[in-house]
Chain A
Amino acid sequence: MTPADLRAAFLADLTAVAPDLDPATIGDNDHMQDDLGLDSMDFLNLVSALHKRFGLPIPEADYPRLATTALAVAYLDQSLAK
């Protein structure tokens, strides 16, 4: 998957968790909790969706690497390449 595909997939899962977010207005550096208002349950649902989509374990220690869309795309790209 190209980074653009990963970004689209990530945004699809994010907006499924938080349907009020408009993918067009989500900035690559918006912070999931601080800027987009996800709570711990929303974030866990997002991690669960990504786990299901990509089959990655995504341990809790890696959560900070999903803090923004830009970070998440880099993380997914790197994890899938392994």
Chain B
Amino acid sequence: MPSLGADMEEGKLIEWLVKPGDTVRKGDIVAVVETQKGAIEIEIFEAGQIGALLAAPGQTLPVGAPLARLGVAEEADVTTPVAEPEHAVQSPKSAAAPAPALAPAPAPAAPGGALLASPAARARAAELGIALETVTGSGPMRAVLLSDIERHVPATSRTDSEPAAEAGPKGKPGLDMTEMRRAIAAAMSRAKREIPHYYLTHEIDLQSAQDRLTALNADRTPDQRLLMGALLLHATVRALAKVPELNGRYEAEPYSPSGPVHCGMAVAMRGGGLIAPAILEAQSKDPDEIMAAMRDLVARTRSGRLRNSEITQGTITISSLGETGVDTLIGVIYPPQVALVGFGAPRMRPMIHDGTIQPRLAITVSLAADHRVSDGRRGALFLAEINRLLNEPATP
């Protein structure tokens, strides 16, 4: 069971898309798992042949528990029978296969008594001033999970706004709003706790970009038309080439930026909540390809069919209010990323253009960035570059 976010501790297998004996390539979708972010398609991390499926649909497994056995290349195991599901869920340790497990196996029992705990559990324990050593872990290798911490807290010190992990029914298919709120709360609390944010905003004259877009769309059927959002995302991704340190994941010291831009876009869910899946390799896409990727990603976010790479590999996030709303959006960085770009709603404003005051379409762009890896001067350069690219006649 792969981890699909720092706060994820378990996942429920919904269905297998492969069967024993199937040959798979790296990146193939092999299973669907239900998480706080809806149903997620799981891509396999290595090529090989599926051996035994160790987990049955409907089972809930802790992060790190094996889902299946994978025979790699020549030593493919074609005869492995499907394992007893009960066996797999009750003792994940004994199911650790000689062949590589589908999910990265949990770290071997830590030597010297070092304590295993999930990131969410560590954060919560620190918040509550609880020593991890005093908590009995119920996770794999006796790892301390968030639910263990919550159980450890005396009932009186719980606040109403923070229900215990075990409260509330889990496991109904589709999106669980309580779980999604919880995932958002965990990520945003971590961001505000760990990331020293700084913020910059800039007003951009969007009129010429809008004029180019209108001219372009006039010759196109609706299914081929671009939205302004695609141009904004395209310009943002291109601007990162000038300030590359804003693109990356701060997961280890020292921080090093990412080469590819996996650009997350915050997608509001109808009915509340949001998910920020990433457009992978966005730096190599033109506006039409960005638009196609956005359409696809929004549709799959809402129908609950994202892939694990899309929700775990983002290197920057763009949040946009779309065409209606307020002028400015100042965001919270999605950890472990180091920057979030916010676009307010475009609006006609009086602007000085060609020396006269004219009604022009304007948009306010903001940057929330991690001060550990960049400074205001670099951030300003980045927003200025977005402005320049949006006003560059060459791009649509």
- A interface residues, Cβ below 8 angstroms from B: 18, 20, 33-34, 37, 39-41, 44-45, 47-48, 50-52, 57-60
Contacts and interface: CB of A to CB of B under 8 A. Distances in A.
Contact of A60 (B214, B223, B271, B322): B214
17 contacts: A20-B271, A33-B323, A39-B268, A40-B229, A40-B323, A41-B229, A41-B294, A44-B222, A44-B225, A44-B227, A48-B223, A50-B222, A51-B222, A52-B223, A57-B221, A59-B218, A60-B214
B298 interface: yes
Contacts of B324: 33-34
B270 interface: yes
Contacts of A34: 324
Given A20-B271, A47-B222, A39 B322 contact: yes
Contacts of A33: 323-324
B356 to A, nearest CB: 26
B176 to A, nearest CB: 15
Interface string B204-244: 00000000001001100111010111000000000000000
The 3 closest A-B pairs by CB, nearest first: A48-B222, A47-B222, A48-B223
Interface of B: 214, 217-218, 221-223, 225, 227-229, 268, 270-271, 294-295, 298, 322-324
Contacts of A60: 214, 217-218, 225
A66 to B, nearest CB: 11
Contacts of A44: 222, 225, 227
A37 B223 CA distance: 21
A41 B222 contact: no
Contacts of B322: 39-40
B299 to A, nearest CB: 8
A36 to B, nearest CB: 10
Nearest to A43: B323
Contacts of B268: 39
Contacts of A18: 270
Nearest to B225: A44
Contacts of B270: 18, 20, 37
A41 B271 CA distance: 16
B367 to A, nearest CB: 22
A48 B225 CA distance: 9
Nearest to B297: A41
Contacts of B227: 40-41, 44
